[in-house]
Amino acid sequence: MEIAQLWDICLQFEYDRNILVASIAQWISNNRKTVILDAACGTGFPAIDLAKLGFQITCNDGSTSMLQEFCRNAKIAGVTLPPYCMPWKDLKTHFAGRFDILMCRGNSLIYSGAWEEARDVEYASIYESLDSFWNCLKQDGILYVDTTAKKNLISQFPERKTYAERILDGRCIKFSEVVYTDRAQRTHKWIAELTIDGTKYEFERNSLFLSHADLKFLLRKVGFRKVSSVEIPGEHYAVFLGYR
Ligand SMILES: C[S@@+](CC[C@H](N)C(=O)[O-])C[C@H]1O[C@@H](n2cnc3c(N)ncnc32)[C@H](O)[C@@H]1O
């Protein structure tokens, strides 16, 4: 099993797909913006759903295995949406000034460069990615980016979730996850455990502890204006907006 397959199953436990897709669609429509880039499209949630609703969305991700799963999901959904495979830092050379909205959601930013393979995230890569995102936007274009929710940043305890067993595609699936935070090192470690018909798979990924103040500081530093947080029903993470 690869991380992409695990993640695709994980999403089915973590999100109410309809609620999140509806609220992001509403947010996009309220902003009257049309040309969208999902820079961290992963396996296609919620980009494929948004494309199906008629939004003009371009998809990108740095992981070939996530994009394989993306293409499989797009085909099942009957959507033609060939994705780009680029690290965020390179997006600005291909898409300078092209988008009205750039989304980097699903708490992707804090895993910058450390998803396809487990490794430590460098703080500098967060700045470099945000700078690239800024360059991809048109004047007045909006970045939609998220980080860990405040309650999980301040909690002294690991964030544990064990979900009720489910039958998916005829298979019996158990899923649990835990996030450990090391404040001294400013890192998190996510450990996901998936059991499919009795066979157990475990994945581990490291990410950065990115406080809301730090994210806002970096956003302003690369040039974003009107940096603010926004409530999006169905999102688990803290969503921030910044305007080019
Ligand atoms: C936690 S997953 C979330 C995926 C998707 N947004 C979702 O909600 O299901 C993080 C995604 O960000 C991508 N990613 C992380 N760092 C990246 C980078 N530097 N450049 C491009 N993609 C990156 C990973 O490959 C992965 O698909």
Q: What spacing in Å lies between the alpha carbon of 108 and ligand 1's midpoint?
A: 5
150 and 212 in contact (C-beta within 8 Å)? yes
Q: What is the dihedral of CA 107, 93, 52, 22, to 10 degrees?
A: 40
103 and 193 in contact (C-beta within 8 Å)? no
pLDDT value at 33 more than 90? no
pLDDT value at 238 more than 90? yes
| Residues 6 or more apart whose Cβ sits within 8 Å of residue 72 | none
57 pairs with which residues across the strands?
Answer: 36
86 and 58 in contact (C-beta within 8 Å)? no
Q: Which of 57, 93, 115, 148 to mutate to test the pocket of ligand 1 (most atoms within 8 A of CB)?
A: 115
Q: Is the CB of 13 under 6 A from ligand 1?
A: no
Q: Is the CB of 227 under 6 A from ligand 1?
A: no
Task: Give the HSE-up count for residue 21: Cα atoms under 13 Å, Cβ half-sphere.
Answer: 16
pLDDT value at 1 more than 90? no
And the tokens for 76?
A: 């099942």
Q: The dihedral of CA 46, 51, 54, 56: what is its sign?
A: positive
- Other CB atoms within 10 A of residue 233 CB: 12
The model's pLDDT over 147-169, given as tens digits with 9 standing for 90+, comes to 999 999 999 999 999 999 999 98
Mean pLDDT of the chain: 96
Amino acid (one-letter) located at 123? Y
The model's pLDDT over 55-64, given as tens digits with 9 standing for 90+, comes to 999 999 999 9
Tell me the residue ranges of DSSP E strands in 22-61.
Answer: 35-38, 56-59
187 pairs with which residues across the strands?
Answer: 182, 208
How does DSSP classify residue 20? H
Amino acid (one-letter) located at 61? D
Q: What spacing in Å lies between the alpha carbon of 190 and ligand 1's midpoint?
A: 14
**Nearest C-alpha to atom 8 of ligand 1 is from which residue?**
106
Q: What spacing in Å lies between the alpha carbon of 113 and ligand 1's midpoint?
A: 8
Q: How far is CA 61 from CA 114, 133, 169, 196, in A?
A: 12, 13, 26, 27
62 and 116 in contact (C-beta within 8 Å)? yes
Share of the chain above pLDDT 90, in %: 96
Q: Which of 9, 21, 61 to mutate to test the pocket of ligand 1 (most atoms within 8 A of CB)?
A: 61
Sheet holding 225-230, edge to edge: 56-59, 35-38, 99-104, 137-147, 238-243, 225-230
Q: Is the CB of 111 under 6 A from ligand 1?
A: yes
How does DSSP classify residue 60? B
Rounded CA-CA distance 219/1 in Å is 36
Q: Is the CB of 83 under 6 A from ligand 1?
A: no
What predicted TM-score, i.e. pTM, was given to this entire model?
Answer: 0.96
Q: What is the dihedral of CA 229, 230, 233, 238, to 10 degrees?
A: -10
Give the residue-averaged pLDDT of 56-80.
Answer: 97
Q: What spacing in Å lies between the alpha carbon of 154 and ligand 1's midpoint?
A: 24
